Amino acid sequence: MAVDQATESSRATAVYVYGIVPADVEPQEHACGIGDPPSDVAVVRHAEIAALVSEISVDRPLGTPDDLTAHAKLLDGSAAVAPVLPLRFGAVLSDQEAVEQELLAAHMDEFRSALRELEGRAQFVIKGRYVEKAILRELLEENSAAARLREQIRDKPADATRDARMQLGEMINQAIEAKRAADTRQVIDALDALEPLVNPRQPTHEEDAVHVAVLIEMSRQGELEEILGQFADRWDGRVELELLGPMAAYDFVTKRDEGD
């Protein structure tokens, strides 16, 4: 009976893997994994590399907002102090032995090389969104045809001016796309001195001005903040800028995986 209970217990749990780190990394104090209550984070080691893991119930569905937040929080906190190779959300193996043999040992050379590339580096994300009234005013000042069309439909019923409104909307969307491309290029060019890896992201909102992920040396974070501060001053009232990070190198790990 005891054997059956042990077997049943072993089937009830699995090991969730967050990412790959150097073997000398220890979990941060108070580090928490996914789950409710949050699971304890452990390290599975093999030679020079290791995996950040936690035990989960196999009956528990994954993918809640809290799970995604915990996954990112653990990886981003680790990336601030050591190179981290993040795994996609939802990596689960049967037990810690499987983590060591099927994941770490099987991919040791690949993981070790990737960690060396990330040594001393972290990802930051630059997000900027146009201030609606400011960018609309700018576009209308630059595009006389759009300005005339806007005057023609001002204070007129929506039904009677539907085609004109659609035409104006299309003109504004095209103009914003052109602005976004030019403004994104300005930011990327200004970051050149930091010798970054750059991954322009797709806009998440129609009024996005800039959305770029960069991988830089952690020691140059202050320079990055200074450059973006200059843009914030120059674009004051036009673009609201935000800098996220340091975080794990999600964009650049994914990019490499897809290219293999």
Closest CA to 41 of 60, 50, 23, 28: 28
Q: Is the dihedral of CA 34, 61, 14, 51 positive or negative?
A: negative
Residues 250 and 148 in one domain: yes
Residues 179 and 59 in one domain: no
Q: Residue 183 maps to which CATH number?
A: 3.30.70
> Which segments of 69-223 are extended strands (E)?
85-86, 92-93, 121-130, 197-200, 208-217
Please state the domain count of the chain: 2
pLDDT(174) > 80: yes
pLDDT tier at 7 (50, 70, 90 boundaries)?
very low
pLDDT tier at 11 (50, 70, 90 boundaries)?
low
Report residue 195 CA to chain centroid gap. 20
Cβ neighbours around 118 below 10 Å, total: 22
pLDDT computed for residue 1 by the predictor: 34
What pLDDT, in 10s, does the model give residues 25-45? 998 778 899 988 899 999 999
Closest CA to 233 of 241, 244, 245: 241
Residues 197 and 210 in one domain: yes
Could you tell me which residues are beta bridge partners of residue 240? Answer: 129
Mark which of 65, 98, 118 sits at the end of a domain. Answer: 118
Mark which of 118, 138, 165 sits at the end of a domain. Answer: 118
* Side-chain half-sphere CA neighbours of 138 within 13 A: 14
Residues 89 and 134 in one domain: no
Q: Give CA–CA dist 97/107, Å, rounded.
A: 14
Residues 165 and 230 in one domain: yes
User: Minimum mean pLDDT among 125-134, 172-181, 193-202, 251-260: which range?
Assistant: 251-260
Mark which of 60, 85, 118 sits at the end of a domain. Answer: 118
What pLDDT, in 10s, does the model give residues 99-135? 999 999 999 999 999 999 999 999 999 999 999 999 9
Contact between residue 126 and residue 251 where contact means Cβ atoms under 8 Å apart: no
27-36, 162-171, 179-188, range with greatest mean pLDDT: 179-188
Residues 132 and 248 in one domain: yes
Predicted structure pTM score: 0.84
Domain ranges, residue 191: 122-259
Residues 215 and 152 in one domain: yes
Cβ neighbours around 56 below 10 Å, total: 19
Q: How many residues does the chain have?
A: 260
Mean of pLDDT values over 173-186? 96
Residues 9 and 138 in one domain: no
Residues 255 and 127 in one domain: yes
Residues 142 and 77 in one domain: no
Q: Give CA–CA dist 169/166, Å, rounded.
A: 5
What pLDDT, in 10s, does the model give residues 145-159? 988 888 888 877 877
* Side-chain half-sphere CA neighbours of 152 within 13 A: 14
Residues 106 and 145 in one domain: no
Could you tell me which residues are beta bridge partners of residue 211? Answer: 127
Residues 255 and 126 in one domain: yes
